[in-house]
Structure 1
Amino acid sequence: MNAVTTRYPNAWHAAADYLRLRGTTVLFGLPSDDLEALPAVEAARLRLILCRDQRNAVFMATGYALQSGSPGVCVVGKGPAVTNTLTGVLEARSSAAPLVILAAGTGGDRRGSGAFQELDQVAVMTPLVKRAYRIDHPDRVVPTLEKAFLVATSGQPGPVYVEIPDHLLREEVTRDRPWSLHTGVTGTLVSDPADQAALEVLRGSRRPTLVVGGGARHRNGDHLIERFAERIGAALLSTASGRGCLDETHESFCGLAGLYAPPATAELVKTSDLVIALGSRLEETAAFGWPGLGTTIPVLQVDVDPLGLSTEYWGPKVVGDAAATLRAWLGRLPEGLVPHRGWLDEIRVCRETLHRDRRETLERLGKSDDIHVAEVLAAIEVVVPPHRILVQENGLQDMWSYLYPFSSCDRGGGSIVPSEQTSLGFGTAAAAGVRLAAPDRPVVVFAGDGAFEMVRADLATLARERIGVLYVVLHNGGYGWLHSQLGRLGLDPGRFPFVTAGEAETGTSVIPGLEQVVVTEKDDLERHLDRGLRAGLTGKVFLLHIGVRLDDVPPFLDALAGDFPETSPSARESEAGPHDRG
């Protein structure tokens, strides 16, 4: 091979060239005020979504990564710009999203001098990322960039931090070899997936349940998980983060595990004799309310990263890629393995019960004039095509979207949800990255008004960049979940006003490329959803504001949400509006 030397004016130009060669087309962020990154971005013909809030930029990049499976890239300045990214980096780490933060930094010749915005950014970032790098010499630019993307995409994906100090803006970077385009090593098996312990519990199970977590995202392109479930006769469940990995129309799918399990599903899984956790850390919400899990019921865990394997539960553990592990198991299981017919019948009855309960609930709610959250989700199911991507938040009312089958993802659909960290506002901003990763699919955000407030600063960004997203905003007056806890503690809502009662209103200034409407009648829901869908597909941002009652909560929250205290005398008077009839 004949080496060809390439010279770059500075480190940012080298970075932009590497991104271009990797196939990266879009970046998110707010660069340092010297703007040195912008000429490099322009020369490489990359698209930079200039955000008003660095936190939103990281959320967008994370949404892009989760939807595409490719690294999201965020460009920021130094000092407070870096600390503004920390919540997003925490979310990306918890979501196992491949993310690369490219940040400015104080030059080596100025460190320790009290330089403008000087901060030990590597020390700040290190606890939250897979690896933090500071490049201090031009010769380290090429290998460090390559290593950053290798680490971000290999094993369990996650965020990586790369700091480009100011002194590298003045130094030429030389590359005397081709770029190495590492694509990750997620398919490598670290331990034997067909070891005897795993095979023995698989062969001996009569009532298996397969729980699919976010670690299985992009590992089920050929419906391998569903085929494996059919082979062993397993009930199929998903964690919240695992939604979108499975076809929820499959005859064995029974909803979400743990906290979000409908009653029929919770009763079914209590009688399992084996749980197979695929790409899930088995966080608290995933295992909530599951007696015997890991004690009388063995848990067979599979994760590409040993740190993702929980030692809270007894059972075999496999370090390996989810897809490669399932294929190995399928090759080792006996050909004559026959699923237990009685267990399959129970799974079928569970699904029938879930869908019957949904029909009966919607029929009951339909007799009221109020607009209920379940009815909003039902309208989305009717109006928005099956290949939609639903981007969710994790507040009081929007958690209805975690309840199957009130919300579902069929074979062509998708879902992006916050991780166990449930960072407020993640979904509202991440939707922009999701839309750019899937430009031919409608993206619908389902969020409460508290979470929606977090993205307001960048609504103009979405409109300017023609990132068409349909926002369905549920207005309960603020932070409904926190308000619901006041009664349990005997606290005065007038002293601690988490919500402000009143009718849903737009509260958003006129922005070119943005449309919005307040829905007050349930008969108008589908018409306005269709209008918003069409606007989103043409690149417009559409806000659908809907007033909802504070006590309109999904059934699994009844015991957790408290008694919903009154807000204040004046609020009680203002609450007598169209959303409180009947």
Structure 2
Amino acid sequence: MLLTGADIVVECLKEQKVDTVFGYPGGNVIHIYDSLYKNKKYIKHILTAHEQGASHAADGYARSTGKVGVCIATSGPGATNLVTGIATAYMDSVPMVIITGNVPLSLLGKDSFQEVDIAGVTAPITKHNYIVKDINKLADTIREAFYIASEGRQGPVLIDIPKDIAMTTTDYEYAEPKLVERCIKNITEEAIENALELINKSKQPFIYIGGGVVRSEASKELLEFAENIDAPVTSSLMGLGGFPSSHELFTGMIGMHGTKASNKGINKSDLIIAIGARFSDRVVSKVEKFAPNAKILHIDIDPAEINKNVVSYHYIVGDIREVLKQLNNNIIKQDRKQWVNKIKGYKDKYPLRYPDNGLKAQYIIEKLNDITDENTIVATEVGQHQMWTAQYYNFNSPKEFLTSGGLGTMGFGLGAAIGAQVGNPTKTVINIAGDGCFKMNLIELATAVNYNLPIIIILINNNSLGMVRQWQSLFFDGRYSETTLNHATNFVGLAENFGMRGLEISRKEQVEEVLQEAINCKGPVLVHCRIHEDDKVFPMVAPGEAIDSLIMEG
């Protein structure tokens, strides 16, 4: 079948069972958009207000559905506007395929109008990228891109398509997508036996999970494993939802804003079983003081993570779900009642708490947790509200929590919520935002309204860049350099002028009623909540301190 490059792009998307793409048109992708128009009964296109919104929406779609997210932008500024979203996905191992247009082949490298070497720009923040210079290689390039995005440690892949490639014709033949197999080649019998020996000999094991548990869809196997070895479980920010937050073995998040039970407990352990986690600086803090008496058993799909930040005693490289299946098949069920009770004692003695004076973000999030169910997806922006959400909302299933962990991208949440709502139309999707983050991509309110997406935005307004202000308060003698925002913005009026519902919470007594009203809305709604500018996230580990040296509330 003779097709243009643009038609081949769309046919390959259909091959990969893509039902939704996010993007923004322009001159160098105009032929691809013409083909999308002709195929709109097969592929839905979501037009965002800005290309960065498209990249975050594709990311949120991927995280919440488990499918590959797809976004499209034109060359030059269109392509560069995607960069922050690509980096966000790369840092959090999110499968995405990004399609950009570029100037014709004859104009490449000549500083042509709207020309950028986007493949060069994104090389450090993609799993792989391509510039397609031969129309006969276009279809196989797209197929390979989807495979690379999905296999092993997932991540974004970019395909840059010059305009004349999209216009040229060549033969196209349908091909079935290549099956993505789970990575098991390095899961040897010896590696499993050595891991089991370590676990069996341990008196005080602690399971530390990361986002890899969610990506590998291993939460069921993890629950079985934790109950089999009777060990407490803590999670990085990215791992939340990989193990039920309400389970008695769960101790809460670990790290800079982790619970004292997690941070103190892991430093008392004799074996850390790290599963799909990378020992980031926000978890470990001062490496020399991290779990000084513990051996580390590290299970991860990416060999580059082994011994990168913390030295392992033993490791297994492979798909987490497959590793846990083999461990569960061979494990002897154990009883560590004394150790588990010790950690439970820490949980009872050092619960999360906050002052009960006035309207608090923690209280709002607790009430939100009470009135929502398992059919809910929560996205966040980045900052204090993100940490409060991680601390006070119970995530009991994977893919419930969408947040920028590795890059910490302010402005991520609204786009991610849009993608999640498009991918999960029957679920309640909530974006918890701070006022600083919200301003960065608030233009995407237009997208939510345009598609009548029933997203709930809970805007926690402390009139400041709260997390930076907290550091300035604690470590810079209260020199609040450029962190007091003092907006005159009427956020409820802003929402209403975009065409959505705007609600206000100014007193604690209003919280439950207004949140319920928001949930009952059939379209997008913003709930504006004003809190005090000096409310802080506790516990907190000061820079350079051991993780069990926590600053508690007050």
Q: Which residue of 2 aligns with 1:248?
A: 245
* 1:154 maps onto 2:151 in alignment: yes
Give unmatched runs, 5+ long, in structure 1.
1-5, 561-582
Equivalent-residue separation in structure 2 for 1:270 and 1:114 (angstroms) = 55
Take 2:263 and 2:153, find their aligned partners in 1: how far apart are those partners? 29
CA distance in 2, matches of 1:375, 1:131: 43
Quote the residue 1:489 is aligned against.
Answer: 476
Q: Contact conserved, 2:433 with 2:459, CA < 8 A, in 1? A: yes
Name the structure 1 match of 2:141.
Answer: 144
Aligned counterpart for 1:239 among listed residues 216, 236, 239: 236
Which moved further from structure 2: 149-158 or 511-520?
511-520
User: What's the counterpart of residue 17 of structure 1?
Assistant: 11
Q: CA deviation at 1:37?
A: 1.9
DSSP 3-state at the match of 1:545: strand
Alpha-carbon spacing, 1:469–1:509, altered in 2? closer, same or farther (3 Å): closer
Q: 1:313 aligns with which of 311, 330, 334?
A: 311
CA contact (8 A) 1:389 1:442 kept: yes
Q: Is the 8 A contact 1:20 1:44 kept in 2?
A: no
Q: Is the 8 A contact 2:258 2:540 kept in 1?
A: no
Whether 1:550 and 2:545 are equivalent positions in the alignment is no
Aligned to 1:324: 322
CA distance in 2 between partners of 1:140 and 1:379 (Å): 54
Give deviations 1:488-513, integer Å, cap 9, x for gaps: 435754x6354227797436154465
Partners of 1:293 and 1:299 within 8 A in 2 = no
- Which whole-Å CA distance do the structure 2 matches of 1:319 and 1:193 have between them? 12
Residue 36 (structure 1) aligns with? 31
CA shift for structure 1 position 155: 0.5
Which residue type is aligned with residue 288 of structure 1?
S
Q: CA deviation at 1:108?
A: 1.0
Match of 1:272 among 269, 274, 282: 269
Point out the more displaced range, 102-111 or 548-557. Answer: 548-557
- 1:184-199 → structure 2 map (5 Å cutoff): 184-192=180-188, 194-195=190-191, 196-199=193-196
Letter in 2 for 1:30: Y
Query: Structure 1's 61 and 298: CA in aligned 2 closer, same or farther, altered over 3 A?
Result: same
**Aligned counterpart, 1:461:** 447
Distance 1:183 1:418, change over 3 A: farther
Query: For the residues of structure 1 that align with 2:458 and 2:288, how far apart are their CA atoms?
Result: 36
- Determine the structure 2 residue equivalent to 1:530: 516
SS at match of 1:386: coil
| Aligned position for 1:564 | none
Residue identity (%):
22
1:556-577: CA deviations, max 9, x gaps? 23857xxxxxxxxxxxxxxxxx
Q: Does residue 166 of structure 2 align to residue 169 of structure 1?
A: yes
Q: 1:189 to 1:427 in 2, by over 3 A?
A: farther
Q: Post-superposition shift, 1:474?
A: 0.7
For the 8 Å contact 1:482–1:498, the answer to whether it is kept is: no
Residue aligning to 1:578 = none
Q: Which amino acid aligns with 1:330?
A: N
Shift of 1:144: 0.4
> Would the alpha carbon gap of residues 233 and 291 (structure 1) be closer, same or farther in structure 2, given more than 3 Å must change?
farther
Structure 1 residue 27 corresponds to structure 2 residue 24: no
Name the TM-score, length of structure 1 as normaliser: 0.87
2:9–2:32: 8 Å Cα contact kept in structure 1? no
Question: 1:379 is paired with a residue of what secondary structure?
Answer: helix
Q: Which position in structure 1 is the counterpart of 2:2?
A: 7
Asked if 2 retains the 8 angstrom alpha-carbon contact of 1:435 and 1:467, the reply is yes
Aligned mates of 2:507, 2:432 — CA distance in 1: 19
Report the Cα offset of residue 279 of structure 1. 0.7
Matched, 1:428 2:425: no
Report the counterpart of residue 369 of structure 2 in structure 1: 381
RMSD, aligned α-carbons: 2.3
Separation of aligned partners in 2, 1:179 and 1:324? 29
Q: How big is each residue's C-alpha offset from its partner over 1:323-369, in whole Å with a ceiling of 9 and x where there is no partner?
A: 00011112233x4x422221122243344456xx35xx47x61xx3x
Aligned equivalent of 1:479: 465
Q: Pick closer, same or farther for the CA change 1:504–1:244 going to 2, 3 Å.
A: farther
SS of match in other structure, 2:161? strand
- State the AA in 2 paired with 1:437: G
| Cα drift, residue 62 of structure 1 | 0.7
Aligned residue among 90, 105, 109 for 2:106: 109
Letter of the aligned partner of 1:546 in structure 2?
C
Indicate yes or no: 2:389 matched with 1:401.
Answer: yes
**Where do residues 401-420 of structure 1 align in structure 2 (5 Å cutoff)?**
401-403=389-391, 406-411=392-397, 414-420=400-406
Contact 1:505–1:518 (CA under 8 A) maintained in structure 2:
no
**Are 2:97 and 1:97 equivalent residues in the alignment?**
no
1:225 aligns to what?
Answer: 222
> Equivalents in 2 of 1:258, 1:290: separation in Å?
12
